[in-house]
Amino acid sequence: MSATELPRLFCLLRREWTAFRRPGRLIALAVAALTVIVPGLLFTLNTHSSCPGPCPAVPVADDGSTVSDRFWFLHRDLGREGGITARMTSMTGTITYPPPEHDQIVQGLVPWAKAGIIIKDGTRQGSPYAALMMTGSHGVRFQHNYRHDVAGGPGGVSPQSPRWLRLTRSGDLITASESADGRRWHTVATATLAGLPDTVQIGLFATSPGDLTLREIGLGGAIEEVRFTQAAGVFDNVTVTGGTTGKWAGDSVGDMNHTDWEKYHNASGAVEKDGVITISGTGDIGPLAEEGARTVENTLPGLPLALIILVVVAARHGTRTSREPASRQVILTRALVVAGATFVTALIAVGTALPAGMAILKANGILLPPLPLPTGARVILGLATVLALCAVTAYGLGVRLHHRWSAPLAAVSLIALPFAVTAFPLLPDTVSAWLLRLTPAAGFAVKQTLVEYPQVTGHYAPSTGYFPLPGWAGLTVLCAYAAISMLMRPAPWRGRPPRPRG
């Protein structure tokens, strides 16, 4: 761009901004911002902790991520060299009031119920660990430091089939092995737990996450229902090398034995009789899939309505362009003005609602998974960019469609409606996922903080804050729509000629 063209561009931008900033449009932008801020603040102000006392802290791993870490642990000391070997003879479980009748407690295991042997840096929640276990439906697994999961030997091993398990430690190196007969051993995997202290805890454990089922509502949407479960592993031939001669200690890592089932029927814990040890426990050990997701969704409930207001404003401004002679440069300049005004509006709105909502929730006793500063900045800047691109797409539709009401209707139907209907459990999850792949609403994937882990049972759906595309891919889809809307050639105007100005 030459030095003579730059002042002309600034002059054009200033002229188009002056034309855009009519009182009605500025009021609409302010209303859009308040639509994000006010519902978010009202929702968080009326959300309070339901814990009878202080809520238990969310476990945090050494890498700063929030995790699940709750199980029953029968343990003893282990030095820098040594290990544990045990035969797991069976694994059973209890599920309280599962569907379809919801009227009885049944025997059964959820897919990721776990029982086995574990090496852990103490009993603090979030501390490093390595565990070899039998699961409810996924056979033998070796898991360490919450995010890592390796399948064991031959698939399809039943929880009722006896299995020998072994963990050995050599400094920071942990080796997991399994055997069907206790003689021929198969190495499952190794892991390095950097920085382990000289003395760690080694022993037997059991845990069982909630039974997650989905109840259909609306036009096929689904909401989550989670029920208490408990798993019990039975072990014999337990030997420890490299440990002390002290007694075994039984502890719950995380709160346990508060439910009616545990109080009046079967408490979580360890029972030893004639060399046979039964460990019962509930909870989970693994990553927390919804890290930050609920925070973002709960502080921005007004986002769909704000989107509708913004695309209507942009589309109506586009119809003004279509009724007047305008060069391609003027059209692009007006689109830039629309994008800039929308970006600033969204930046103020989201940048206010998200941190303020988080502060209010914490003040009300709600324990939130931490939202790292880079992630929060990415969500705020990403949403401002996405809303600006949505406005550009709507403006382009207004230029193309002319009519002051059909253009906003088309923009709302294409951009805002898919996002609004997928933000709630209204449509089937598969339909919602495809809408967020194929429409401009795909761009809202930039606000996703929910991570899908194969070893964590969760409801990974748009209504829970999970998008089928990564943020960059969703943003690419939206950019393509914005580019197409701006490159479309306006149809000839067939209405009355515009009245001359002044």
Q: What is the mean pLDDT of residues 65-70?
A: 91
299/380 Cα distance (integer angstroms):
12
Give the residue, 160 or 215, on which the prediction is more confident.
Answer: 215
- Cα–Cα distances in Å, from 357 out to 35, 46, 254, 362, 460? 14, 11, 28, 9, 24
Is residue 432 domain-resident? Answer: yes
Same domain, 435 and 305: yes
328: tokens are: 């391609």
Give the residue, 326 or 57, on which the prediction is more confident.
Answer: 57
10 Å Cβ neighbour count for 122? 14
Same domain, 186 and 254: yes
Least confident span in 1-5, 112-116, 335-339: 1-5
pLDDT grade for 218, boundaries at 50, 70 and 90: confident
Q: Dump pLDDT digits (tens) for 412-438.
A: 999 999 999 999 999 999 999 999 999
Same domain, 366 and 390: yes
Q: Which domain holds residue 424?
A: 8-46+291-487
pLDDT grade for 123, boundaries at 50, 70 and 90: very high
Sequence-distant (≥ 6) Cβ neighbours of residue 333 within 8 angstroms: 9, 12, 13, 16
Is residue 502 domain-resident? Answer: no
Q: Dump pLDDT digits (tens) for 228-242.
A: 999 999 999 999 998
Quote the radius of gyration of the chain (alpha carbons, Å): 29
Of all residues in the chain, the percent with pLDDT exceeding 70 is 92
222/88 Cα distance (integer angstroms):
38
Same domain, 299 and 275: no
Same domain, 85 and 23: no
Q: Most confidently modeled of 116-120, 222-226, 483-487?
A: 116-120
Of all residues in the chain, the percent with pLDDT exceeding 90 is 72
Is residue 497 domain-resident? Answer: no
How many domains does the chain divide into?
Answer: 2
Q: Dump pLDDT digits (tens) for 469-489.
A: 999 999 999 999 999 999 876
Q: Which of 287, 314, 339 is where one domain is finished?
A: 287
Same domain, 111 and 206: yes
Same domain, 282 and 295: no
Q: What is the mean pLDDT of residues 95-112?
A: 92
Is residue 52 domain-resident? Answer: no
pLDDT of 502: 41
Per-residue H/E/C for 72-139: EEEEEEEEEEEEEEEEEEEEEEEEECCCCCCCCEEECCCCCCEEEEEEECCCCCCCCEEEEEEECCCC
pLDDT grade for 201, boundaries at 50, 70 and 90: very high
Same domain, 224 and 334: no
pLDDT of 65: 84
Is residue 245 domain-resident? Answer: yes
Same domain, 313 and 265: no
Q: Dump pLDDT digits (tens) for 398-409.
A: 998 877 788 999
Same domain, 226 and 362: no
Q: Which of 287, 303, 320 is where one domain is finished?
A: 287
37/300 Cα distance (integer angstroms):
8
pLDDT of 45: 92
Is residue 3 domain-resident? Answer: no
pLDDT of 367: 73
For the whole model, what pTM was predicted? 0.88
416/165 Cα distance (integer angstroms):
54
CATH code: domain of residue 254? 2.60.120
pLDDT of 501: 45
Same domain, 281 and 300: no
Q: What is the mean pLDDT of residues 105-131?
A: 96
Same domain, 322 and 227: no
Is residue 54 domain-resident? Answer: no
Is residue 501 domain-resident? Answer: no
Q: Which of 236, 259, 287 is where one domain is finished?
A: 287
Average pLDDT of the chain, as a whole number = 90
10 Å Cβ neighbour count for 445? 25
